[in-house]
Structure 1
Amino acid sequence: MKIKKLIYILIVLFSIHHICAQRNYDTKEVIELWPNKVPGENEVKKASTQTNNTKNNVKRLTDVTNPHLTIFHPNESNKNGASVIICPGGGYQILAIDLEGYEIAEWLTSLGFTAFVLEYRVPQKQEGALMDIQRALRIVRNNATEWKLDSDQIGILGFSAGASLSARISTNFNKKLYPFVDTADKHSAKPNFSVLVYPAYLDKGPNNTLTPELTLDKNTPPMFIFATADDPFANSALVMASALRSNKTPVELHLYAKGGHGYGLRPGNEAAEKWPVLAEDWFTKILK
């Protein structure tokens, strides 16, 4: 009986912790990217919509017209001064905001990073999404002193379509995509490092070669790429890594046999359990 009672207490405590964690996401500090009109956006600003699809216990958002960053701060005791902007995936249709956003931010803060979850424009607003991530990087860099961050250690981490967006800004950061809004836009939009987890849409060139939009040069940041062979989008990882290698850009590629697509870092999938360990090791090498 005592064992049963203990198990029951543990279940209740876990449930309370989970509920509190979910509520905590709604009370995090939020920074709107665009103080006035959102460039290139025809719809008025409003809260994003959660879809009815909760398959695999994933919260999916769509109809994002007011892009913003949600900030997750690490404990001061292990803060490392580096920061990461997280781009959830969802095929440029939705954002898997908890699986590939909030949960990733919690993991990054445990490593000492200040994490920012980006709600970029969806559905099917790829150009607007690129403006959003460019503006987000400039805002974080502009506030680096206030947030006690190293402005030369601002990275980006994306999943699936979010990894596509991460690759796009890593190769298009110098393009003027929108009329400058304020002094934040004087700052560079270049990520200092990029992490692409099960990336998609990077092989849209002729014969499944590199997507033409992704123009690499000597300023392309170092990248960590993880995918699995049974992922239908796996060729994106291979093509991107090959292009980076040819460009002499530091790249670390991991291709596991199985894992599929869209697993985040939740336990129960070997790929989901492996990539965070490998990424953490990579962070220690590039953030010296």
Structure 2
Amino acid sequence: MNKLLLPFLFFCMSYTSSAQEIRPLWEGNIPKKITSSEKEFIATDREIIWIEKIQVPTIKVYHPTKRFNNHKAVLLFPGGGYKGLAYDLEGEDFAKWLNTLGFTAIVVKYRVPVSEAIKDNKDVPLIDAQRAIRLVRANAKKWEIDTNKIGVMGFSAGGHLAATLGTHFSTTYSYKKDAIDTLNARPDFMLLAYPVISMQNGVTHNGSRNNLLGTKPTKELIDWYSNEFQVSAQTPPTFLIHCADDGAVSVQNTLLFYNALLENKVEAEMHIYQKGGHGFGLGTNVGDVGKWTVIAAEWLEKI
């Protein structure tokens, strides 16, 4: 190898590692965690990084270059039907994109309810989501982020979790808390891509509902996790994108949430594409949605 190239490659590797950092959500005891022999699983036979049975929830922070830092942040919640996480497709790929716009981007590796290592399974994803945004606010000064400009972006079931955070941010749970747990958990804005919103029959994604609530949830539980019923004037401004031909998560989820936002006079923008299916991520060479990130970037600039 060319000797002149070695220092350059070392610099690139050093810059990459210094521009990212991984932090556990919790110091010491992890809420709702129980002792088990279960281990985290990362699939090696897929085209994406797929993670199940998360044992230690983390955030992976992608820092923009200092010169172009806009002092805003977005937490990313990958989807996976509340069974696993499409960690790169709906996490790391978007973190890199957001960095180009000047955002600090945070990929949240949250615990999913399909696990033997947790109790009160349905509560755990939101507990982790609340902690993640509070942890970002706790580090805002260090990371040069405005504490009033921290949003969330969720995909599919991760969109349900992001929307749940945006509508249930004040919900409290019993576990040993620290100073970080006293911070505001409300996102300042939301971007939801092909999200699961509702838990209602005929609208929901059955796999996500079964994994989160079980196969025989009560009506009260179904309604509480149907975020179209939980919107209020305090729900953050929201950007929504979906495809009419989505065969996994009905476009009705996005339509119901958009209407609820309008009824509560919450700023909202919605884009429905004819073709693109489900799980299109950045949308490169997929149906009609190839340039949706351009529209999303424009909305982010406006908001």
The percentage of aligned residue pairs carrying the same residue is 36
Distance 1:122 1:206, change over 3 A: closer
Distance 1:142 1:180 in 2: 18
Distance 1:42 1:194 in 2: 32
Q: Find the counterpart in structure 1 of residue 71 from structure 2.
A: 81
User: Cα distance, 1:131 vs. partner?
Assistant: 0.3
Deviation string, structure 1 residues 35-87 (Cα, Å, up to 9, x no partner) = 12211122469973202440xx2110111021010010001111100000000
Corresponding residue to 1:188 among 165, 184, 190: 184
Instruction: Give the total of aligned pairs.
Output: 265
Amino acid aligned to 1:222: P
Q: Find the counterpart in structure 1 of residue 268 from structure 2.
A: 251
1:155 is aligned to 2:163: no
Distance 2:39 2:152 in 1: 24
Distance 1:98 1:189, change over 3 A: same
User: Cα distance, 1:231 vs. partner?
Assistant: 0.6
Q: Find the counterpart in structure 1 of residue 31 from structure 2.
A: 39
Q: Find the counterpart in structure 1 of residue 80 from structure 2.
A: 90
Corresponding residue to 1:117 among 100, 107, 110: 107
Distance 2:145 2:167 in 1: 23
Secondary structure class of the residue paired with 2:28: coil
1:226 is aligned to 2:226: no
User: Cα distance, 1:95 vs. partner?
Assistant: 0.5
Deviation string, structure 1 residues 141-182 (Cα, Å, up to 9, x no partner) = 111111111000000001001000000000010011243532
Distance 2:37 2:149 in 1: 31
User: Cα distance, 1:205 vs. partner?
Assistant: 3.2
Q: Find the counterpart in structure 2 of residue 269 from structure 1.
A: 286
Q: Gaps (5+ residues) in structure 1? A: 1-16
Distance 2:144 2:39 in 1: 29
Distance 1:80 1:178 in 2: 36
Q: Is the 8 A contact 1:62 1:123 kept in 2?
A: no
1:164-179 → structure 2 map (5 Å cutoff): 164-179=160-175
Distance 1:144 1:180 in 2: 23
1:10-89 → structure 2 map (5 Å cutoff): 28-43=20-35, 48-54=40-46, 57-89=47-79
Q: Is the 8 A contact 2:31 2:176 kept in 1?
A: no
Amino acid aligned to 1:100: E
Amino acid aligned to 1:83: A
TM-score between the two structures when normalised by the length of structure 2:
0.81
TM-score between the two structures when normalised by the length of structure 1:
0.85
Q: Find the counterpart in structure 2 of residue 14 from structure 1.
A: none
Name the Cα RMSD after superposition. 2.6
Amino acid aligned to 1:59: I
User: Cα distance, 1:239 vs. partner?
Assistant: 0.9
Worse-superposed segment, 230-239 or 249-258? 230-239
1:138 is aligned to 2:127: no
User: Cα distance, 1:134 vs. partner?
Assistant: 0.2
Q: Is the 8 A contact 2:61 2:107 kept in 1?
A: yes
Q: Is the 8 A contact 1:196 1:225 kept in 2?
A: yes
Distance 1:259 1:60 in 2: 21
Q: Gaps (5+ residues) in structure 2? A: 1-8, 115-120, 205-221
Deviation string, structure 1 residues 92-131 (Cα, Å, up to 9, x no partner) = 1111111111110000000000000000002534421110
Distance 1:279 1:46, change over 3 A: farther
Distance 1:143 1:226 in 2: 30
Distance 1:120 1:203 in 2: 20
